[in-house]
Amino acid sequence: MKNPLIAPILAKLKQHDGALSEYELIKSLDADIGFPVLAEDPQLALFQKHFLVKNALFQLQLRFWQEDKLYLSISALAIQLEPARNGTSHLGLPGDAGEAKVRDYYLDWQHYTSASPESVADLLADFWRRYAGTEQRDKALEQLGLPQDASPQAIKQHYRRLASQHHPDKGGDSKQFIALRQAYETLRNG
């Protein structure tokens, strides 16, 4: 399927100096050219609009990389051309496995054509579950005084050290001990 937004997005990128947010890009495209006919369901229509923009951006990202050795950085808050970076994905593009997974998703038209109001609702529910899980993990790491990149082994060792210090049988505060245990369980099960 040919994406009708590739040329208009390329024009917007050329017009704009610096980074452009996805919201600014969508708003500008909507004002200038409008979007193709989308689903009647508002969540599905929003998904389709978002998918069309992301698909076009990732197609352009591949073209810029293959033809010009420039990297089109794509995030919700900043879309911009950059010089090539170190570290490449499976396609030879800069980035990590997470970026490659997102790129693969948006380059697969099957995700667009098979989307339904139910599947979009499931995607949103999954996003919010993962978001809440990330927030809980951050709070648990903070509670234990650990960095974001703490390994499971480091978490376990640090928890044991803190638990022995704060255990009620050793004169520690039971509320503090329970809070530490809750944080550890969150990290252990997450």
* Per-residue pLDDT at 110 exceeds 80: yes
Mean pLDDT of the chain: 88
Question: 110 near 55, Cβ under 8 Å?
Answer: no
* Per-residue pLDDT at 90 exceeds 50: no
Full 3-state SS string of the chain? CCCCCHHHHHHHHHHCCCCECHHHHHHHHHHHCCCCCCCCCHHHHHHHHHHHHHHHHHHHHHHHHHHHCEEEEECCCCEEEEECCCCECCCCCECCHHHHHHHHHHHCHHHHHCCCHHHHHHHHHHHHHHHHHHHHHHHHHHHHCCCCCCCHHHHHHHHHHHHHHHCHHHCCCHHHHHHHHHHHHHHHHC
> Mind listing the pLDDT tens digit for each residue in 36-84?
778 999 999 999 999 999 999 999 999 998 888 888 999 999 999 887 7
Phi, psi of 127 (to 5 degrees): -60, -50
What does the block give as tokens for 35? 């979007």
* Per-residue pLDDT at 143 exceeds 60: yes
pTM: 0.68
